[in-house]
Structure 1
Amino acid sequence: MKQVLMFIILLSYSASMHAQKFIGSGTIEFEVKTNLHKSLSSMWGDEEGDWAKQLIASQPQMTVNYYKYNFHNNRSEYKFDRSGDTKKVTPWLSNVNEDDMWYNDYTNKKFVNQKAIDDNYIISGDLKNIEWKLSPNDVTVIAGFNCRKAQTVLFDSVYVFVYYTDEITVNGGPMSLNGLPGMILGVTIPRMYTSWIATQVTLGEPVIKEPTRGKKKTEADMLAILTEVGKSRAKEWKNATKWMNPMIWRTFL
């Protein structure tokens, strides 16, 4: 009887140790959903006339894309994987640049991003020091991991709501989001009409590489480039200012 009891105790201890084994390397698949109709309507509004309404109506209301987030040795890379759309989206309306890539070094708090605008660019600098407000009692399960809620405000007025898990030890997440006590597995940004949700986590030790394809620019350089693009759009669209803000958010997020 004592031997049976000891076996049960050892089995329970082993299960407990397994449950507490935290993850530091692997690959996360993120499903990214955008309400394209609301996104485009917020940028163009009624001022652009019937042609804009007709163009928006010709697009699928929701778009779905999948991204891969590889993490190892406290570094990560996040990039486009594939589209999940059943109806084709007009490329320049999709808000998706398949060449975009985010590389983060969380130990040294540095980033190197590849961005496609009118050309491919490489932007590097310090990771954002994001001030998060935690809601530890607001919990959910994402991809099998227990997650807690947090929120912040970026770009002065853009609210970002996330769920993170401390079962994955890297303090990162999709794009440049970072700084929580664990991995971000869910994101909602209402003003971008977009959500990111982890669909699966695969263990492994992926190779993490910095992006290298593009002209090297600072963030100030990129803002100047976006401003020039905005001026050219202003000649075509009455609501170019509304169009510019989401583009800036997507570039620097």
Structure 2
Amino acid sequence: MKNIFLYILLLSASGVFAQKTEGVIHYEYQINWIKMMKKLPFLTQEEKDRMENTWKNDPDPKQKMNLYFNEKETLYTWGQDQQEYEDENWKSRNRELIIHRNFETEKRTDMLEILGKTYLVQDSLKHIEWKVMNQIKEVAGYICMKAVAEDKVKGQKITAWFTGDIPVSGGPEQIYGLPGMILELDADDGTVTAVATSVELKKLDKELTLPKLKGKKVNNQQFDSVISTYINDSIKMQRNPYWAIRY
């Protein structure tokens, strides 16, 4: 907690009066497939080396994501020009993905298409145990401080860079809970990243309004059980679970 207070004090001397609490943040989401595959425990070192040599010159595609926000809520989804995903070799429709956080009511509403079906997760916000570090860097023109946590369901280390200049406790993907907006997210030492490329501070219209929701309704515990069971079963069957779920 001491690091958090030091960070807020630092910001007060460098622009806290310019705080804004409404707009849209544009992110680039990227998966490093070589790093992901090399973490699979059932692959031999020879298989991992061969895979790295085969793919090392192939660039990892970047997907555009948007996070709409005000002082009370956030909504994270595909970028408006990113409804389909394609590269040189293939093209497909993006899966359903709406991640909504209401910090005033402390409610979570996520519509996620995984494992061939759409889930509607509606429950209270989960507490994330953050440890704020001393490192500072600039992301998308904002001074950010580092924080780390662990995704206990997926067993992943989470690193976030957040800014108090946008005093909203939101962030990309399903990550939040810091005293400022997360502008850069790193899961599993660079296996997956979501990095803000620009921040538009503006009055929103209907961007935070949830569309008509669909899917199998589950709570936090039920959804976590679906994810953890699928990951464990996939590893036992020597399959990569992240072809079917979001990393």
In 2, Cα distance between equivalents of 1:90 and 1:239: 26
Give the unaligned 5+ runs of structure 2: 1-12
Q: Which amino acid aligns with 2:238?
A: N
Match of 1:210 in 2: 210
Partner SS, residue 62 of structure 1? coil
1:134 aligns with 2:95: no
User: Residue 98 and residue 192 in structure 1: after superposition, are their counterparts in 2 closer, same or farther (change >3 A)?
Assistant: farther
Aligned length: 224
Equivalent position SS for 2:159: strand
Question: How many percent identity over aligned positions?
Answer: 20
- The reply to whether residue 119 of structure 1 matches residue 120 of structure 2 is no
Give the alignment of 1:1-253 within 5 angstroms.
Answer: 20-43=17-40, 45-46=43-44, 57=55, 60-81=58-79, 82=82, 86-89=87-90, 97-117=94-114, 118-135=116-133, 137-155=134-152, 157-190=155-188, 193-206=191-204, 207=206, 208-211=208-211, 212-223=213-224, 225-226=226-227, 238-240=237-239, 243-244=240-241, 250=247
TM-score with structure 1 setting the length: 0.73
* Partner SS, residue 61 of structure 2: strand
Q: Taking structure 1 as reference, are residues 17 and 40 closer, same or farther at Cα in structure 2, changes over 3 Å only?
A: closer
C-alpha separation between the residues in 2 aligned to 1:18 and 1:223?
39
Q: CA RMSD in A?
A: 3.7
Q: Deviations over 1:196-219 (max 9, x none)?
A: 110000112322123512232223
Report the Cα offset of residue 181 of structure 1. Answer: 1.1
SS in 2 for 1:170: coil
| Equivalent pair of 2:167/2:179 in contact (CA under 8 Å) | yes
Aligned 8 A contact 2:85 2:91 in 1: no
Query: 1: CA distance between counterparts of 2:57 and 2:216?
Result: 32
> Partner letter of residue 172 of structure 2?
P
Task: Say which structure is richer in helix.
Answer: 1
Looking at structure 2, the residues matched to 106 and 70 of structure 1 have their Cα atoms a distance apart, in angstroms, of: 14
C-alpha contact 1:33 1:196 (8 A) present in aligned 2? yes
Q: Is the CA contact 1:37–1:57 (under 8 Å) kept in the aligned structure 2?
A: yes
Cα deviation code 1:143-181 (max 9, x no counterpart): 111111111112174211111100001111112322211
CA distance in structure 2 between the partners assigned to 1:225 and 1:213 by the alignment: 18
Q: CA deviation at 1:232?
A: 8.3
Bigger Cα displacement from structure 2, 118-127 vs 35-44: 35-44
Alpha-carbon contact 1:30-1:197 (below 8 Å) kept: yes
Q: CA offsets, 1:68-102, max 9 Å, x none?
A: 000024111101222786434575xxxx9531110
CA drift of 1:133 comes to 1.0
How far apart are the structure 2 equivalents of 1:84 and 1:129? 32
SS at match of 1:174: coil
User: What's the TM-score, normalizing by structure 2?
Assistant: 0.74
CA contact (8 A) 2:95 2:112 kept: no
Alpha carbons of structure 1 residues 90 and 139: separation in structure 2 relative to 1, 3 Å: same
